[in-house]
Chain A
Amino acid sequence: NAGVTQTPKFQVLKTGQSMTLQCAQDMNHEYMSWYRQDPGMGLRLIHYSVGAGITDQGEVPNGYNVSRSTTEDFPLRLLSAAPSQTSVYFCASSYWGANSPLHFGNGTRLTVT
């Protein structure tokens, strides 16, 4: 039972490079989201999706793009990485509706130099 799978686990980028963080879930969850976690800041929502073809911005969307072409996958794209995007990124998913807590992946640790 895989749950929420994130790849890669670690990544180092140079400023200006682009990359895609992958997230896949096998629980048929409608809702998927991306958070970043920084020391002392807790978890902050970047983007979320309530179903295939539907995405919206969270609290800190600048510098990130997302798409949701299938129910299972929700990739996060950094078009031009900046040092301020050094963080740990978590993908999470849940069913759509009340009484549906989020399930998290194990994170991607990104360093931008």
Chain B
Amino acid sequence: GQQLNQSPQSMFIQEGEDVSMNCTSSSIFNTWLWYKQDPGEGPVLLIALYKAGELTSNGRLTAQFGITRKDSFLNISASIPSDVGIYFCAGQLWDGGSQGNLIFGKGTKLSVKP
């Protein structure tokens, strides 16, 4: 089946640093979503992208829908301690006749540098 390659798998952040993560796929999507999951909770939507080339911001978060429709990245600027958690990308192919199910990456775990 379809797979998303999300990288990095984990990273350590120091307060104030910028963070980047990305997802790539062998298949095209027409929707890319980025979710964050805190311990003991369900994933929460951060940013939704619906158009190739689209660049969207949500506060300190910026995400882009790759022009090839096979990749997306998420940047977090000036990270703060509450940014720690697991970030998931998800792709969806909606063809107008049936709603394709979301395919999730395996997640990027953000932790604070010791």
* Interface-lining segment among B13-21, B36-44, B58-66, B77-85: B36-44
C-alpha gap A18/B25 in the complex (Å): 37
Chain A nearest CB, measured from B6 CB (Å): 8
**Count of chain B residues with a beta carbon within 8 Å of a chain A beta carbon:** 25
Q: Which residues of A contact B96 (CB under 8 A)?
A: 98
C-alpha gap A103/B99 in the complex (Å): 15
CB–CB A102/B102 < 8 A? yes
A/B pair count, beta carbons within 8 Å = 58
Residues on A lying within 8 angstroms of B by beta carbon are 4, 31, 33, 35, 40-45, 48, 50, 58-59, 90, 92, 96-107
CB–CB B88/A43 < 8 A? yes
CB–CB B48/A99 < 8 A? yes
Q: Which residues of A contact B48 (CB under 8 A)?
A: 99, 101
Query: Provided the pairs A45-B101, A98-B94 are in contact, do residues A104 and B44 lie with their beta carbons within 8 angstroms?
Result: yes
Tell me if B30 counts as interface (CB < 8 A to partner A): yes
CB–CB B99/A106 < 8 A? no
The contact sample of 9 A-B pairs, CB cut-off 8 A, is A31-B99, A44-B104, A50-B99, A92-B42, A99-B31, A101-B31, A102-B45, A103-B45, A107-B42
Q: Which residues of A contact B42 (CB under 8 A)?
A: 4, 90, 92, 104-107
C-alpha gap A10/B45 in the complex (Å): 24
In-complex Cβ contact of A90 among B31, B43, B50, B105 (8 A)? B43
In this complex, the member of B42, B48, B104, B107 whose beta carbon has the largest number of chain A beta carbons within 10 angstroms is: B42
Closest Cβ neighbor of B35 among chain A residues: A104
